[in-house]
A = this chain, B = another copy of it.
Amino acid sequence: MPTKETIRDWFSHLQNDICKQLEDTDGQGKFIRDEWERPGGGGGVSSVLTNGSIIEKGGVNFSAVWGKAPEPVLKSLNLNADDQIDFFATGISIVIHPFNPMVPIIHMNTRYFEILPAGRQGDNGMWWFGGGIDLTPHYVNEDDAHYFHQQLKSVCDKHNPSYYPDFKKWADDYFFIKHRNETRGIGGIFFDYLKAENSFTKESRFEFVKDVGASFAPLYSHFMKKNSSLPFSENEKQWQSLRRGRYVEFNLVWDRGTKFGLDTDGRTESILMSLPPQANWEYNQKPKPESKEKKTLSLLKKNINWI
């Protein structure tokens, strides 16, 4: 059975591996590692690349933190705030903002969480995995969307036939900007509370999460290579800035991970690494009829079958 140390080390290794692959594809940018400690226990490494040849701002964050479970954690699990509960959480979280508006924004997160009564060790507490990958094109290209979902489906199908349909729906529901009635992008997969149940073991859940993590760099490298030389206009760049504004709105208003981090005194700079280098807002901006922008908006909906 994989221990929390094994899982932590795998995530840490994955962070380095992803940084290396993204640097190779970018060809110019280098990730700068910033190590930090958490006063209550643990810490992390935030790796940030700015002004590459393709990536304008990209963050790959690893953390492994532990200690007494903060009140919001206990509440979210319906546990008594007075309980002496220890938690352990480790994961990596990535957001990449490219220069070229034809290259999509991408996000990935994989995480492992464990809680156990204070002082106890081992696997007698609760544990679960969570995570997901989702894509936010500034312009939705249907072939790219199909490719993205097909790749995720292949990763999921290796593990369980229910994974892709279930986690695709979960992503549609999660990455939704309610006050705009728009999805953040074309979705992907999102999962949480993956524990040992039915035929699923800790090993099999971990193998799935590993495969999701390992799929990230090749998947995004594909879009970097394919789209980063496409020409674009000033108007398209302006549209990118507005879409980045929507990304900010989702992350600050609706993203549970961000809110949880800010509520529990997480490391602000690592949490908000996901924000774009720059974003614009225009009052009541509406794309022209028949425009590419209009078409993109029409595809930012739940329940589109991209396969």
A interface list, Cβ under 8 A from B? 34, 46, 48, 50, 57, 59, 178-180, 241, 245, 248-249, 252-253, 259, 262, 268-269, 271-273, 275-284
Q: Which of A180, A276, A283, A284 has its CB near the most chain B CB atoms (within 10 A)?
A: A283
Nearest to A276 among chain B residues (CB) is B281
Query: Which of B59, B179, B248 sits near A268, CB closer than 8 Å?
Result: B179
Given that A275-B245, A278-B278, A281-B275 are known contacts, is A262 also in contact with B179, CB under 8 Å in the complex? yes
Residues of chain B within 8 A (CB-CB) of A272 are 249, 281
With CB as the reference atom, state the residue of chain B lying closest to A280.
B278
The reply to whether A248 and B252 form a contact with Cβ atoms under 8 Å apart is: yes
Please name the 7 residue pairs, one residue from A and one from B, whose CB atoms are nearest each other, closest first: A252-B252, A275-B281, A179-B262, A48-B283, A269-B284, A179-B268, A278-B280
This protein's copies in its complex: 2
Report yes or no: A59 in contact with B278, Cβ–Cβ below 8 A: no
Indicate which residue in B269, B271, B279 contacts A279 across the interface (CB closer than 8 Å): B279
Q: With a CB–CB cut-off of 8 A, which chain B residues contact A259?
A: 253
A31 nearest CB across to chain B (Å): 11
Q: How far is the CB of A262 from chain B (nearest CB, A)?
A: 4
Sample (11) of A-B pairs whose CB atoms are under 8 Å apart: A50-B283, A179-B268, A179-B271, A180-B268, A252-B252, A253-B253, A276-B281, A277-B280, A277-B282, A278-B278, A278-B279
- B252 near A284: Cβ-Cβ < 8 Å: no
Distance from A176 Cβ to chain B, minimum over Cβ atoms (Å): 13
Contact B273 A283 (CB under 8 A): yes
A70 to chain B: closest CB distance in Å? 14
Contact at B179–A278, with CB atoms within 8 Å?
A: no
Query: A245 — which chain B residues lie within 8 A by C-beta?
Result: 275
**A108 to B57 Cα, complex, angstroms:** 34
Q: What are the residues of chain B within 8 A of A249 when measuring CB–CB?
A: 252, 272
Please, which residues of chain B bring their CB within 8 A of the CB of A271? 179
| Contacting residue for A252 out of B59, B253, B269, B283, CB 8 A | B253
Min CB distance A77 to B, Å, is: 23
| In the bound complex, CA of A259 to CA of B284 (Å) | 19
Docked pose: A262 CA to B249 CA in angstroms: 11
Whether A277 touches B281, Cβ cut-off 8 Å, given contacts A252-B253, A262-B179, is: yes
Q: Tell me, in angstroms, the Cα distance from A50 to B17 when the chains sit together.
A: 46
Residues of B within 8 A of A248 (CB): 248, 252, 279
What separation, in Å, do the CA atoms of A108 and B272 have in the docked complex? 28
Docked complex Cα distance between A34 and B285 (Å): 13
| A276 contact set on B, CB distance < 8 A | 281
